[in-house]
Amino acid sequence: MARDQVVYRRYAPPPGGHGIVEHLWVVTVPDGAAEREVLLPDGHGLVTVAVGTTGVHIDPLTLERTPDGSGVRGLADRAFVREQHGPSVRLGAQLDPVALARMGVRSPAHASVAVSAVLGAGVEEECATALGQGRDADAAWALGTAVAAHALPAPVGSPLEALTPVLRSVVEQRGLVRASDLARHADLAIGVLHREVVETLGITPEAFLAAVRFSAFVRDAVGPGPVRPQDALAVLQWYLRAGYPPREVERFTGLSHVELRRLEEGIAAALGVAA
């Protein structure tokens, strides 16, 4: 590996983790290297164990900078820019949309809950030790196993059980459905659906749909793995200048033309380039 090369590795969930952990990843940033990425609001919770230099979250709408290390995050409703200097190693478990609810966690979308508060003492240390020794696969296995062990089945007949296949179908359909379609699929009144999704995910059904749409829109252009800000910026700039009708813009990206423009300007400002 070159001294300044950032490496991304992806791992499948361990046995028993399917339906709870979607996948795991490890990103290594060597000493002297720097990485920036756009964190997409893709409708999934996230558990992260970080070793080394602490990263920074940048809100593209306010340019507020906050430290970003180990922790458990809920479902974000908008994109963020993340800045990381080496040396650092980060392990992440991307969760199923209802995994945090099955773990009894109400993690704010834009704030972090301690890993130990969710998975108990020892898990973060075990993962951090493995990462520090270069045993990335072992660290991923340990985190995935711990997450799966803390997720209880949805009670039979509960709203959570009804919502689980519905929310997964939203991700599979790239968010290109309406809240009323979700209510019908779950056999719930629209008001009940709204309440249950807010209680389960911490965001509204509309925000969840918009987040999944936006992430799918960006992923189509940039592919899997970390999203480089300059790539996300290029996607937004191209789309905004294509002249699509406002209804089509919101339908396929989850954001209005004005919101996309604000995000473009914010990412550009975070990068220090012209929008």
**pLDDT above 70 covers what percent of the chain?**
97
Q: Cα separation of 24 and 233, whole Å?
A: 26
| pLDDT band (50, 70, 90) for residue 160 | confident
Q: Which one, of 109, 114, 66, 71, lies nearest residue 90 by Cα?
A: 71
Higher pLDDT, residue 224 or 139 = 139
| pLDDT band (50, 70, 90) for residue 1 | very low
pLDDT in tens, 125-141: 999 999 999 999 999 99
Residues 177-186: contacts with CB under 8 Å, at least 24 apart? 177/209, 178/209, 179/205, 179/206, 179/209, 186/159, 186/162
Q: Chain-wide mean pLDDT for the chain?
A: 90
Rg over CA atoms, the chain: 19
What is the total residue count of the chain?
275
Domains annotated on the chain, with CATH: 7-149 (2.60.120)
Q: Cα separation of 124 and 258, whole Å?
A: 41
pLDDT in tens, 175-185: 888 888 888 88
The arithmetic mean of pLDDT across residues 157-162, rounded, is 86
Position 7 pLDDT exceeds 50: yes
Phi, psi for 95 (deg, rounded to 5): -100, 155
Planar angle of CA 107, 90, 164, nearest 5 degrees: 40
Q: What is the pTM of this model?
A: 0.90
| pLDDT band (50, 70, 90) for residue 76 | confident
Instruction: Please say whether the beta carbons of 77 and 148 come within 8 A.
Output: no
pLDDT for res 52:
97
pLDDT for res 222:
92
Q: Cα separation of 190 and 181, whole Å?
A: 9
CA 251 to chain centre: 21
DSSP 211-254: HHHHHHHHHHHH-SS-B-HHHHHHHHHHHHTTT--HHHHHHHHS
Q: Cα separation of 21 and 131, whole Å?
A: 19
